[in-house]
Each structure stands twice: as C-alpha cells, then as structure tokens.
Structure 1
Amino acid sequence: MNYIIKTEGLHCGHCDAAVETELMKVAGVTDADANHETNTVQVECSGEVAAEALTAAVEAAGFKAVSVEAA
C-alpha cells in the first residue's frame, strides 16, 4: 500500500532526509521519498500502515504532517 503525506516545514534536502530516515523506522515502510519543493512525502509500504504511525514519524523528525492519504 502506498501513501502520500502532506507536510509543512520542509525547506531543503536535509529536511527531506530527516523525514525519510524517521519513516524508514516504521514497521512495514519499504521506501520514503520526501520532496521539500512540494512539501509531500511518497511512502511505499509492504502492507497497511496506520496513518498515526506515519504522522508520528514525520513529527519525530521535527516537521508537521498535515494529512495522510492512501495513494
């Protein structure tokens, strides 16, 4: 299952990397691709992952997750 997370506060490649690193720690996440230009993160998962877990990972990186949508 894939998700798109809309975020706030991503300003550069280091921001992208921080979010990607935290998301990769979530069980079931197989890939994460953050884009500071669009303030979105595309997340690939091996199965269904709770939106709350994805939101918590973004916030652990120091950013705000505005929404999580299945893609």
Structure 2
Amino acid sequence: WLLGGAGHDRLWGGAGADLLEGGAGDDIYAVDTPGDRTFERPGEGWDRVCASVSWTLGDHVEQLTLGG
C-alpha cells in the first residue's frame, strides 16, 4: 500500500498488485499490473492514471493516459 501526502504525488507500486492512495493534491498513478488499485476521495485534486495495461478509471480520478 502506497500513501501520498497533502501535496502533488507520483505513485508507482512496481512489480505485483498494489493499492495506491494519493491523498489531497493533484496525483499521478503509474499502473503496470491489472491487479493495481487506485483510491481517491472526492475533492482531492485533479488525478491521473498512466497505465501500460487495460484500465478503467475509479471514482474521483479524472484522467487516463494509456501507453505501452
């Protein structure tokens, strides 16, 4: 489990399935495993997932970027 702080965070769990929670601020999540999960609460900034696997955005995450 990776937990960001009150500022802008970049979270990458690395190998294996991870829970990524950004907290307040504009956060970027790097998703590279289908088992990864992101968690955001309402009103916690503009958040983005950069995924190298097929991905569906969770609640309160505003942007998805797909790459290989």
TM-score by length of 1: 0.29
User: Higher relative contact order at CA 8 Å, sep ≥6: structure 1 or structure 2?
Assistant: 1
TM-score by length of 2: 0.30
